[in-house]
């Protein structure tokens, strides 16, 4: 039984490798006629312990409007929560629903509530970067 | 045999769960961060996806459950069973058949509980819940430290009378922060001040251990920062930052454990650029993360002092300073240094009372003073107790002196000495021309923290020609060969006092000398209510006092909490968190740069804005 589990883990590892390779191909295989595609987004790690433990992490906001705010209508987002280890992830792949120029901002999430709040704690979003999805 | 079948079915459930989750969002490596598992939410306009809970701290340990097997099963049976279940580890917990089971992080706790609970050999399965300290320390006087928890309590013997009691909730929310962290023992805070009684019961175990006496004395230029002049200030400041928490006695610092470095740069008459910049360099070079300077001066821009703040900044050290107690606006001609220095590692602190009104003595400045913090009726550690000695029995070596405990011109029991000899009985009597006589007395002042002579005085001598002087000589003998500690010629009535800090020996001789020239005499002098205040070392005294000096260490303590909780924090991250997270406070609007009172929990939950964002096509 134990051997079977080990085998399973090995298979998982292999398939992870395959996925990592295939992921790039997936982005490249997006239709080029305006249906969007993948963007790899990376950022510097925040130093707060409460961002880099369970309940913490990041949110990637993306929009086709330059100068957008996270709360604006039509802004897309992807959560990138802490999983394990010493830090939350600092890279992710987002998939845009359309081609064109996309603007991206990152906010960090703390697992701690400020005094008098139960709504959690989200940082001010970073300055925006842009990328053109063919 | 039956057990084995069950084990197999459980293992199958685990495997199925694993595969189905993996299949939903792509394969996952075990226990390794991979952002690809996060769901993409498109075009919802949501600012906070539900998958990323930011509610309070976690309630259970992920990847673990506690499983109780039937009591009829032997321990080895249970071991066999769990070994067959494909879990990562299963550790026996307690005396019953309970196992702490660790499983793959890809199954939720609830899924695991459901899977195990279905097994007929298992009585119960439950999450491994998380518990946190109800971080209220047991220190006996904690309830008086309103900065941490203001319940509207009255501070006993508080000398600041306004808003005592104040407003419940006007505090730094330190108890909330203590739920996350109380231990700053990785952090060194240097207290540049009047020295610290590092033997105090609430400080001894929290002192820096980098050298023999936990610091340095830049006043006397030796390795002992004990406040030998009896100055209480530094010891009080140190206790606010880091009086040992939860040790059953006394008060509680912002940090319960910490390393306090004692740097004595202020004596009984203050300090100098020379001493202070040496202390800063010592702190920085010996690993201090934070420097507290509850001190100030109003001279011109001090470039060497400024350079040393920069030196600290360039080595990642936060500097917290007091705004000053002159009720001035520091932004006008009344600049207060170091508060008015502009380096970004420097935080300048105003004092708030118990209702978060600005303390009536606190300096302000919309460009120089950054934040407010509790600074009145602050109870903290005290270097020793005062033992007042009233003494007669003075030795006359010249003419004209007398001592008495009964004098018709002074009510009560005056403990007086006077010259001329009939000062008490004959009001119009005078001393003689060409007098030069001394009266003195030995005082045992060894093993003291400090000592001060004080008396009420009535003096009348020929101004400019006839003098009354006081002396103290450390090792006995006639004191009048030493430099006078007090010198007066003319007419006055009032209190005199002088420090005996250089006379703390077994045979300290205190003496008075009257000299007159060959013409014109006066009615001489009478000293009464004579006292030697002996400040005796002890490790168990606490007092409450007021000042921006008391506000600054509250902020230094929060800086230490921040750097302990977030070890990667730079000086700038720390300062940003303090300034960016405070509590909006009306009395600080228009008087400080932020308009905020510092808040320990706010600072811990503060998040810096992510930087270094890049986006590329795969």
Give the CATH number of the domain where residue A125 resides.
2.60.40
Q: Which of A37, A70, A81 has its CB closest to that of B47? A: A70
Domain count of chain A? 2
Structure tokens at A30: 């997006």
pLDDT band at B409 (very low <50, low <70, confident <90, very high): confident
Interface of A with B in 11-40 (CB under 8 A): 12-13, 15-16, 18-19, 23-24, 27-28, 37-40
Which pLDDT score, from 0 to 100, does residue A5 have? Answer: 39
Distance CA B268, CA B266 (A): 7
Whole-angstrom Cα distance, residue B75 to residue B82?
11
Comparing A120-134, B4-18, B56-70, the range with the smallest average pLDDT is B4-18
Bridge partner residues of A60 (DSSP): A78, A106
Q: Does A26 lie in the same domain as A38?
A: no
CATH 3.40.50.200 fits B144-377+546-605, yes or no: yes
Structural domain including A17 reads 1-30
Residue A31 has pLDDT above 60, yes or no: no
Q: How far apart are CA B153 and CA B145, in angstroms?
A: 9
Write out chain A residues lying below 8 Å of B86, CB-based: 1-2, 4-5
Cβ atoms of B290 and B554 within 8 Å: the answer is no
Range among A107-111, B55-59, B102-106, B392-396 rated most confident: A107-111
Residue with token string 């300096």: B363
Angle between helices B571-580 and B548-565 (to 10 degrees): 120
Question: How far is it, in rounded angstroms, from Cα B60 to Cα B581?
Answer: 28
Which residues in chain B touch residue A114, judged by CB atoms under 8 angstroms apart?
Answer: 581, 601-602, 605-606
Domain extents for chain B? Answer: 2-32+57-129, 144-377+546-605, 387-537
Closest CA to B281 of B254, B317, B252, B247: B317
pLDDT at B42 exceeding the cut of 50: no
Q: Considering chain A, what percentage of its residues have pLDDT values greater than 90?
A: 63
Which residues, other chains included, contact B283 with Cβ-Cβ below 8 Å and sequence gap of 6+? Answer: B190, B192, B261, B263, B291, B312, B317
Does residue B55 carry a pLDDT above 80? Answer: no
CB A13 to CB B29 under 8 A? yes
Contact A55 B36 (CB under 8 A): no
pLDDT at B58: 57
Cβ distance B601 to A112 less than 8 Å, yes or no, reads: yes
Maximum average pLDDT range among A8-12, B247-251, B444-448:
B247-251
Rounded to the nearest integer, the mean pLDDT of chain B is: 85
Place of tokens 């821009």: B301
Q: Looking at the structure, do residues A25 and A81 belong to the same domain, yes or no?
A: no
CA distance A71 to chain B (A): 6
The CATH classification number of B387-537 equals: 2.60.120.200
Contacts of A128 in chain B (CB under 8 A): 613
Helix (H) or strand (E) holding B9: helix B2-25
Across the interface, of B8, B58, B615, the residue whose CB is closest to A104 is B615
Cα separation, B345 vs B574, whole angstroms: 9
B462: which 2 tokens? 């020929």
Give domain B2-32+57-129's CATH number out of 3.30.70.80, 3.30.310.80, 3.40.470.10, 3.40.640.10: 3.30.70.80
Number of helical (H) and strand (E) elements in chain A, helices listed first: 1, 7
Q: What pLDDT is attached to residue B571?
A: 98
For residues A77 and A118, state if they share a domain.
Answer: yes
The pLDDT score that the predictor gives to residue B231 is 85
Give CA–CA dist B291/B313, Å, rounded.
Answer: 11
Note whether A44 contacts B611, CB cutoff 8 Å.
yes
Q: So what's the ipTM on this one?
A: 0.77
Q: Residue B27 above 70 pLDDT?
A: no
B194 or B83, higher pLDDT: B194
Please state the separation of Cα B560 from the chain's center in Å: 10
Tokens encoding B38 = 């996060």
Distance from CA of B529 to the nearest CA of A (A): 54
Q: Is there a contact between B589 and B597 (Cβ–Cβ < 8 Å)?
A: no
Q: Percent of chain A scored above 70 by pLDDT? A: 73
Which residues 51-110 in chain A show a CB within 8 A of chain B?
51, 54-59, 70-85, 87-89, 91-95, 97, 102, 104-110
Contact, B367 vs B390, CB < 8 A? no
Q: At what angle do helices B2-25 and A2-28 cross, to 10 degrees?
A: 10
Of A8, A84, A105, the CB nearest to B31: A84
Q: Do B33 and A50 touch (CB under 8 A)?
A: no
The predicted pLDDT at position B480 comes to 79
Question: Which pLDDT belongs to residue B135?
Answer: 62
Reported as a pLDDT band with limits 50, 70 and 90, residue A35 is confident
State residue A18's pLDDT score. 37
Q: What is the pLDDT of residue B3?
A: 38
Q: Which residues of B touch A89 (CB under 8 A)?
A: 33-35
**Both structure tokens of A88:** 């939350």
Instruction: Output the CA–CA distances (angstroms, integers) from residue B70 to A11, B5, B101, in the order listed.
Output: 35, 17, 16
Which phi and psi angles does B433 have, rounded to 5°? -65, 155
Cβ B99 vs Cβ B92: under 8 Å? yes
Residues A21 and A49 in one domain: no
Structure tokens at B33: 């961060």
Q: Could you report the per-residue pLDDT of B458-504, keeping only the tens digit for each?
A: 999 999 999 999 999 998 888 878 889 999 999 999 889 898 988 99
The C-alpha R_g of chain A, in whole angstroms, comes to 18
Q: How far apart are CA A114 and CA B514, in angstroms?
A: 68
User: Which of B4, B40, B64 to mutate: most A Cβ within 10 Å?
Assistant: B40
Task: State residue B385's pLDDT score.
Answer: 80
User: Helix H segments across B93-221?
Assistant: 109-117, 174-178
Question: How close, in Å, is residue B19 to chain A by CA atoms?
Answer: 9
Statement to judge: residues A82 and A120 lie in one domain: yes
Selecting from A15, A79, A110 the residue whose C-beta is nearest the C-beta of B38 gives A79
pLDDT number for residue A119: 59
Q: Which residues pair with B96 in a beta bridge?
A: none
Nearest to B370 by CA among B339, B348, B398: B348
Residues A26 and A89 in one domain: no
Q: Are residues A23 and A83 in the same domain?
A: no
Domains B2-32+57-129 and B387-537 agree in fold:
no
For residues A25 and A85, state if they share a domain. no
- pLDDT tens sequence across B61-81: 778 888 888 888 888 888 888
Do A16 and A66 belong to one domain? no
Q: Which residue of B has its CA nearest to A18?
A: B27
């Amino acid at each position: 039984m134990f051997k079977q589990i080990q085998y399973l883990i090995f298979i998982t590892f292999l398939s992870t490798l395959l996925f990592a390779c295939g992921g790039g191909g997936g982005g490249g295989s997006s239709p080029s006629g305006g249906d969007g595609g993948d963007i790899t987004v990376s950022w510097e790690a925040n130093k707060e312990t409460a961002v880099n433990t369970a309940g913490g992490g990041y949110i990637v906001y993306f929009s086709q409007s330059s100068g957008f705010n996270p709360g604006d209508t039509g802004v897309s987002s992807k959560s990138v929560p802490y999983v394990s280890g010493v830090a939350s992830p600092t890279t992710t792949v987002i998939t845009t629903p359309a081609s064109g120029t996309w603007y991206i901002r990152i906010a960090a999430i703390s697992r701690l509530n400020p005094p008098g709040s139960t709504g959690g704690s989200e940082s001010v979003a970073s300055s925006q970067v842009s990328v053109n999805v063919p | 045999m039956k057990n084995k079948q069950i084990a197999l079915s459980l293992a199958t459930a685990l495997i199925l769960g694993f595969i189905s989750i993996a299949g939903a969002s792509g394969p996952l490596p075990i226990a390794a961060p991979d952002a690809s598992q996060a769901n993409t939410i498109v075009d919802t306009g949501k600012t906070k996806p539900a998958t990323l809970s930011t509610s309070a701290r976690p309630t259970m340990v992920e990847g673990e459950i506690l499983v109780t097997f039937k009591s009829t099963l032997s321990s080895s049976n249970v071991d066999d069973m769990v070994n067959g279940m494909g879990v990562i580890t299963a550790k026996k917990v307690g005396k019953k058949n309970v196992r702490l089971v660790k499983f793959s992080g890809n199954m939720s706790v609830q899924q695991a509980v459901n899977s195990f609970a279905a097994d007929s050999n298992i009585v119960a399965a439950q999450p491994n819940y998380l518990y946190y300290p109800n971080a209220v320390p047991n220190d006996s006087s904690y309830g008086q430290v309103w900065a941490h928890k203001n319940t509207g309590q009255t501070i006993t013997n508080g000398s600041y009378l306004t808003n005592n009691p104040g407003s419940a909730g006007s505090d730094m929310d330190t108890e909330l922060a203590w739920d996350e962290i109380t231990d700053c023992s990785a952090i060194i805070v240097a207290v540049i001040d009047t020295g610290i009684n590092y033997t105090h019961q609430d400080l001894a175990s929290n002192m820096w251990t980098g050298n023999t006496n936990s610091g340095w004395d830049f006043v006397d230029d030796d390795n002992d920062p004990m406040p030998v002049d009896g100055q209480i200030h530094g010891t009080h400041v140190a206790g606010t930052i880091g009086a040992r928490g939860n040790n059953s006695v006394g008060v509680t610092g912002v940090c319960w454990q910490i390393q306090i470095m004692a740097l004595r740069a202020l004596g009984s008459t203050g300090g100098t650029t020379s001493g202070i910049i040496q202390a800063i360099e010592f702190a920085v070079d010996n690993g201090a993360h934070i420097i507290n300077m509850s001190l100030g001066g109003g001279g011109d821009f001090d470039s060497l002092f400024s350079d040393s703040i920069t030196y600290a900044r360039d080595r990642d050290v936060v500097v917290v300073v007091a705004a000053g107690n002159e009720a001035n606006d520091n932004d006008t001609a009344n600049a207060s240094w170091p508060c008015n220095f502009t380096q970004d590692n420097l935080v300048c602190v105003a004092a708030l009372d118990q209702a978060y009104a600005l303390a009536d003595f606190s300096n302000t400045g919309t460009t120089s003073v950054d934040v407010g913090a509790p600074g009145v009726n602050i109870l903290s550690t005290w270097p020793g107790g005062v033992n007042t000695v009233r003494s007669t029995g003075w030795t006359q070596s010249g003419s004209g002196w007398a001592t008495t405990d009964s004098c018709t011109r002074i009510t009560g029991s005056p403990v007086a000495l006077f010259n001329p000899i009939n000062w008490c009985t004959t009001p119009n009597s005078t001393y003689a021309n060409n007098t030069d006589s001394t009266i003195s007395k030995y005082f045992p002042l060894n093993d003291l923290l400090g000592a001060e002579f004080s008396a009420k005085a009535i003096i009348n001598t020929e101004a400019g020609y006839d003098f009354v002087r006081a002396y103290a000589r450390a090792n006995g003998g006639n004191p009048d060969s030493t430099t006078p500690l007090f010198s007066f010629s003319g007419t006055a009535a009032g209190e005199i006092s002088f420090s005996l800090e250089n006379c703390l020996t077994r045979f300290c001789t205190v003496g008075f000398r009257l000299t007159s020239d060959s013409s014109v005499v006066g009615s001489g002098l009478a000293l009464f209510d004579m006292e030697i205040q002996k400040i005796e070392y002890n490790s168990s005294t606490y007092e409450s006092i007021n000042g921006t000096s008391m506000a600054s260490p509250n902020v230094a303590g929060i800086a230490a909490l921040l750097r302990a909780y977030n070890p990667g924090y730079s000086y700038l991250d720390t300062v940003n968190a303090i300034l960016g997270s405070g509590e909006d406070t009306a009395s600080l609007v228009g008087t400080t740069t932020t308009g905020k009172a510092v808040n320990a929990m706010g600072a811990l939950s503060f998040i810096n804005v992510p930087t270094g964002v890049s986006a590329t096509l795969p």
